[in-house]
Amino acid sequence: MKQYDYIIIGSGIAGLYDALLLQEAGSVLILTKGSIDECNTKHAQGGIAAAISSLDSAELHFNDTIAAGAGLCDPEAVRLLTEEAADRIDDLVKFGVPFDTVNGEIALTKEAAHSVPRILHAGGDATGERIEVTLSNAARASKRITIFEYFLVTEVLVRDGKVQGVAALDLHSGSAEEFGCRFLILATGGIGRLFKITTNPDIATGDGVALAYRAGAEIIDMEFFQFHPTALRLPGVPLFLISEAVRGEGGILRNIKGDRFMLKYSSQGDLAPRDIVARGIVAEMKETGTDRVYLDVTHLPPRLLSTRFPQIYRFCLEHGLDITISLIPVVPAAHYIMGGVRTNYWGETNVSGLFASGEVASTGVHGANRLASNSLLEVLVFGKRIVERTRKGEANTTTLAKSDVYPLKERDTAAVSHPHLSLTALQSLLWDKVGIVRSGEGLREAANILAAWEKELKPPTDRPSHELANMVLVGRLMVEAALIREESRGAHFRSDFPQPSDAWLKHIVFKKTV
């Protein structure tokens, strides 16, 4: 078994950033199930939030993040995020990320639930892509980083509570391989492909959460999944994200009648937190009997739209929609998981030697609802802390704070009537029963079907079957958490428990029972 100091699973900004920082500390192997460029990072249009303006401060950023998190943010994690933000932006500048500037200074814009403009962007709405290309080019050029593309990790190898390495499937040859390491970093991204309507690419199948759970790691806050309010809805056109920043620049949401409606649901109107806007859109579609609302930017200068949002402008124009003169049809879509693999302030899990970074991790900064553009910042801040922790030598896992820990509930599925398991059936089930508005009845139905599917699964042999098995497991973790939390908070809304409750100012943690 070939040995490395570090194995990193995933090639988005989380994996690449850590790899580039760790290459001086030892041998680094990146394993990715697709090409190095397949990741969620490149789809991030909005940008990175950081208090770098003289009109801003880490304290203001802290307060905005805490407010969005609906009572469940970890204040110390948020403090680290906001206070270390400027230094991590400096790292990206040194790597060569070409942030947009005005008169020689980095340009800043405003997004929903931010009190001041603090969003950095690159190439207008191409921020994620510019970062991804910059970091992947640097990683490819490094002689100290080994990259194996089209390698699907199938198991985290653990002995006596400590990571030993990974088992992986070479997707080209079909051969099974094992690689050893001192430290393993999960940087596998999100889980958005569990849902029928999503902004996520095909790779976002929750592999990291499933791998970590099976290895004995704690999984937290899985009920908190964020639905982005505005994804382009055109017949025959792939779903396409319309950035939060469009509303930050003055975009207005209108219903099918042309009426502006968000002030009915929040005094912040179109710039309310994402969960409120998404539910407002759903309520408006139900009230008007339609399957979409509209985002209106026709009152904004055409030059602003084409230069500030070049990707959005071009994509819409290529599909016959000129956003400078026509309304943009939009619908909410599955976007981002606030929960995931539970970590401390150094990215460590409860399994010695196992770390998690990026969307797969739950650091505590997002609470019940992520503040827009904090995700890329979280990657940088806590990724750097993983590097600092491991470079000091053998990491001793810090005990995670005490919390209610649940086993994944065993369900009697003998009499459960359910459709045949397929990717389409799973995505439809999660969208219909575990989506923007949930109910106890729908969640129980989903829980029973997912449990039945899990019992019927055959041993996976290729990428699709491994991914489907992972998605069933991750879906179970999500739905069982949503059933346990009998309240509505942040991105988790239950029609049978529509109000938040102080009794639920706590976290739900799952851990595999031996």
Identify which of 325, 343, 408 has the alpha carbon closest to the alpha carbon of residue 186. Answer: 343
Query: Which residue, chain included where needed, has tokens 């070479």?
Result: 170
**Whether residue 391 is found in the same domain as residue 305:** no
What pTM, to 2 d.p., does this model score?
0.94
Which residues span the domain enclosing 307?
Answer: 229-334
**Whether residue 311 is found in the same domain as residue 432:** no
The domain spanning residue 291 has which CATH number? 3.90.700.10
The domain boundary, picked from 403, 428, 456, lies at 403
Q: pLDDT (tens digit, 0 to 9) for every residue of the chain, 514 residues total? A: 899 999 999 999 999 999 999 999 999 999 999 988 766 555 556 689 999 999 999 999 999 999 999 999 999 999 999 999 999 999 999 989 999 999 889 999 988 889 999 999 998 888 888 888 899 999 999 999 999 999 999 999 999 999 999 999 999 999 999 999 999 999 999 999 999 999 999 999 999 999 999 999 999 999 999 999 999 999 999 899 998 889 989 999 999 999 999 999 999 999 888 889 999 999 999 999 999 999 999 999 999 999 999 999 999 999 999 999 999 999 999 999 999 999 999 999 999 999 999 999 999 999 999 998 999 999 999 999 999 999 886 555 555 666 779 999 999 888 888 899 999 999 999 999 999 999 999 999 999 999 999 999 999 999 999 999 999 999 999 999 999 999 999 999 999 999 999 999 999 999 998 7
**Whether residue 212 is found in the same domain as residue 235:** no
pLDDT number for residue 417: 86
pLDDT number for residue 43: 54
The domain spanning residue 119 has which CATH number? 3.50.50.60
The domain boundary, picked from 403, 425, 447, lies at 403
CA distances from 397 to 155, 160, 228, 394 (A): 21, 14, 35, 9
CA angle 432, 235, 244 (to 5 degrees): 70
**Whether residue 188 is found in the same domain as residue 301:** no
- How many structural domains comprise the chain? 3
Question: Collapsing DSSP states into helix, strand and coil, what is residue 178?
Answer: strand
pLDDT number for residue 415: 81
**Whether residue 275 is found in the same domain as residue 246:** yes
CA angle 74, 76, 82 (to 5 degrees): 100
The Cα–Cα gap between 143 and 20 comes to 11
**Whether residue 413 is found in the same domain as residue 330:** no
**Whether residue 326 is found in the same domain as residue 459:** no
**Whether residue 285 is found in the same domain as residue 309:** yes
CA 349 to chain centre: 18
**Residue type for 478, please?**
M
Is residue 262 a contact partner of residue 277, using CB atoms and an 8 Å limit? Answer: yes
CB within 8 Å of 389: residues ≥ 6 apart: 346, 347, 348, 355, 395
The Cα–Cα gap between 325 and 25 comes to 54
For residue 158 the two structure tokens come to: 């653990």
Q: Say how many CA atoms lie within 13 Å of 497 toward its Cβ.
A: 19
**Whether residue 63 is found in the same domain as residue 145:** yes
Is residue 61 a contact partner of residue 118, using CB atoms and an 8 Å limit? Answer: yes
Task: Characterize 179-200 residue by residue with b for buried, 16 or more Cβ atoms within 10 angstroms of its Cβ, and e for exposed.
Answer: bbbbbbbbbbbbbbbbbbbbbb
**Whether residue 162 is found in the same domain as residue 51:** yes
pLDDT number for residue 513: 86
The domain boundary, picked from 403, 425, 449, lies at 403
The Cα–Cα gap between 289 and 16 comes to 45
Question: Collapsing DSSP states into helix, strand and coil, what is residue 31?
Answer: strand
pLDDT number for residue 40: 52
The Cα–Cα gap between 15 and 293 comes to 37
Identify which of 409, 427, 423, 476 has the alpha carbon closest to the alpha carbon of residue 449. Answer: 476
Residue 167 buriedness (CB in 10 A; 0-12 / 13-18 / 19+) = middle
The Cα–Cα gap between 55 and 313 comes to 30
CA angle 113, 233, 367 (to 5 degrees): 30
Is residue 227 a contact partner of residue 489, using CB atoms and an 8 Å limit? Answer: no
Is residue 481 a contact partner of residue 72, using CB atoms and an 8 Å limit? Answer: no
**Whether residue 128 is found in the same domain as residue 264:** no
Is residue 166 a contact partner of residue 156, using CB atoms and an 8 Å limit? Answer: yes
CA angle 182, 188, 191 (to 5 degrees): 145
CB within 8 Å of 306: residues ≥ 6 apart: 313, 324
Is residue 356 a contact partner of residue 343, using CB atoms and an 8 Å limit? Answer: yes
Residue 277 buriedness (CB in 10 A; 0-12 / 13-18 / 19+) = buried
The domain spanning residue 475 has which CATH number? 1.20.58.100
**Residue type for 377, please?**
L
Q: Say how many CA atoms lie within 13 Å of 362 toward its Cβ.
A: 31
**Whether residue 318 is found in the same domain as residue 361:** no
CB within 8 Å of 16: residues ≥ 6 apart: 30, 36, 132, 135, 136, 138, 139
Q: Show which residues are catalytic.
A: 274
The Cα–Cα gap between 469 and 454 comes to 7
Query: Which residue, chain included where needed, has tokens 């016959």?
Result: 320
